[in-house]
Amino acid sequence: MSGLKQELGLAQGVGLLSTSLLGTGVFAVPALAALVAGNNSLWAWPVLIVLVFPVAIVFAVLGRHFPSAGGVAHFVGMAFGSRMERVTGWLFLSVIPVGLPAALHIAAGFGQAMFGWHDEQLLLAELGTLALVWYIGSRGASSSANLQTVIAGLIVALIVAIWWAGDLKPAEIPFPAISEIELPGLFAALSVMFWCFVGLEAFAHLASEFKNPERDFPRALMIGLLLAGSVYWACTVVVLHFGAYGEQMAAAASLPEIVVQLFGVQALWVACIIGYLACFASLNIYIQSFARLVWSQAQYKPESYLARLSPRHLPRNALNAVLGCCVVSTLCIYMLQINLDALIVYANGIFIMIYLLCMLAGCRLLKGHYRALAVIGGLLCLLLLTMVGWKSLYALIMLAGLWLFLPRRPDKATLTPSSGI
């Protein structure tokens, strides 16, 4: 028993994961994929889902058998000891100053599209978004799940409305024949699209808050993955059908432009609100996950401020600490005018490293075909690190620095391979 309130059901889990995966990418990535691969991007989505499945199954099995607010750090700790658990936890937390401000900026950009906000107005919108995350997080995981389930429904409803108003028919979908697929374009699209499926590691931190984690956590993970992949594919069909992509067009403007074309300029606010909510959902699950990770890492010292739970069994103190770091990072980036595009690339390297560590833990903890899937997932992560190139050095340096400089504590017992699943 984690101490956290177990209140999540299957539908809520699907809503949490699907919105985490859709997040900031649903409005932009289909247009980016269409730009680099054209019609080949329609094949890229099913190929990507097949590639991600080994990684997703390993997350699902580990979360099913070892549910913990520590998420991947907990899995790594069981496989390689408490020091590596702490290193992994701090590696994940290092995303806060580089990744979350970038996502906040993307979310606030929908306010710029609707109201023409700039500078201080965008900063206030970002801080207001953090305040909303605090309010939702203070009400419990079920409140976040219910809200994000509604957001998932709105995203799906928007895509269905576009298909209906655009009179899209299955026979009109420009699927290239398998013999006509251009592999360079397909691979280029896959490298752009993989980032849509970063979010599994955040979802793992909520495994212990399911009413029945052994049954519902893996189901929610796999259903949410398929739902998000289906929405991305449907968005790509729409973008290709209307030709709403190109080097002269901002990728995030593709769906809003289609909405205006079909429903008139008065409908732009609908697309912008749904876009903001999608970004908010992704931010929310990450911040709530960070809070649970901080709380779990503080358990070695139960009397500490961060290790305490609220009367409603929520890690509110940890949430306050995470949001405080977000506020400081956002203000620093605003004052120093730091390039957010570069920050996103560095954050991506951290995510791949965390996935790789999870797959290595799976190789140690799992048996049989699950271990084989962990090996396949680990090879995929290594391939992705090479695709990031020299910018993956940030993640490697962070990992090495944390291993060398984190204070040592007595090691916990580890799970030997012979006792794996």
Least confident of 58-72, 243-257, 271-285, 294-308: 243-257
Local structure of residue 66 (DSSP, 8 states)? S
* 134 phi and psi angles, rounded to 5 deg: -60, -45
Cα 414 to Cα 67, 204, 309, distances in angstroms: 16, 20, 27
Mean pLDDT of 150-165: 93
What's 109-168 look like in SS3? Answer: HHHHHHHCCCCHHHHHHHHHHHHHHHHHHCCCHHHHHHHHHHHHHHHHHHHHHHHHHCCC
Q: Is 8 strand, coil or helix? A: strand
Rounded-to-integer distance, Cα 282 and Cα 258, Å: 23
Which residues neighbour 95 within 8 Å (Cβ) at sequence distance 6 or greater? Answer: 286, 347, 350, 351
Residues in the chain: 421
Rounded-to-integer distance, Cα 267 and Cα 384, Å: 39
What confidence score (pLDDT) does residue 1 get?
Answer: 39
Sign of CA dihedral 384, 385, 388, 394: positive
Rounded-to-integer distance, Cα 145 and Cα 135, Å: 14
What confidence score (pLDDT) does residue 104 get?
Answer: 86
Count CB-CB contacts under 10 A for residue 273. 14
- Higher model confidence: residue 58 or residue 393? 58
Report whether pLDDT(51) > 70.
yes
From 3.40.190.150, 3.30.1330.10, 3.40.228.10, 1.20.1740.10, which CATH number describes the 10-406 domain? 1.20.1740.10
Query: How many CA atoms lie within 13 Å of 366's alpha carbon, on the beta-carbon side?
Result: 27
Percentages (nearest 5) of helix, strand, coil residues in the chain: 80, 0, 20
Count CB-CB contacts under 10 A for residue 406. 13
Rounded-to-integer distance, Cα 282 and Cα 320, Å: 18
Residue matched to tokens 């998420």: 71
pLDDT digits over 359-373, tens only?
999 999 999 999 999
Query: What separation, in Å, do the N-terminal and C-terminal C-alpha atoms of the chain show?
Result: 20
Rounded-to-integer distance, Cα 415 and Cα 127, Å: 43
What does the block give as tokens for 320?
A: 């306050």
Q: Is 210 strand, coil or helix? A: strand
Contact assessment for residue 37 and residue 44, using Cβ atoms and an 8 Å cutoff: yes
- Higher model confidence: residue 103 or residue 284? 284
Residue type, position 231, single letter: V
Rounded percentage of the chain residues whose pLDDT exceeds 70:
95
Rounded-to-integer distance, Cα 244 and Cα 34, Å: 9
Report whether pLDDT(282) > 70.
yes
Contact assessment for residue 199 and residue 21, using Cβ atoms and an 8 Å cutoff: yes
Cα 150 to Cα 104, 153, 281, 358, distances in angstroms: 20, 5, 10, 30
pLDDT digits over 286-341, tens only?
999 999 999 998 888 888 899 898 888 889 999 999 999 999 988 988 888 776 66
Report whether pLDDT(417) > 50.
no
What confidence score (pLDDT) does residue 150 get?
Answer: 94
pLDDT, the chain, mean: 87
Residue in 292, 339, 290, 342 with CA at minimum distance from that of residue 314? 292
Count CB-CB contacts under 10 A for residue 255. 25
Query: How many CA atoms lie within 13 Å of 270's alpha carbon, on the beta-carbon side?
Result: 18
Report whether pLDDT(411) > 70.
no
Sign of CA dihedral 90, 93, 94, 95: positive
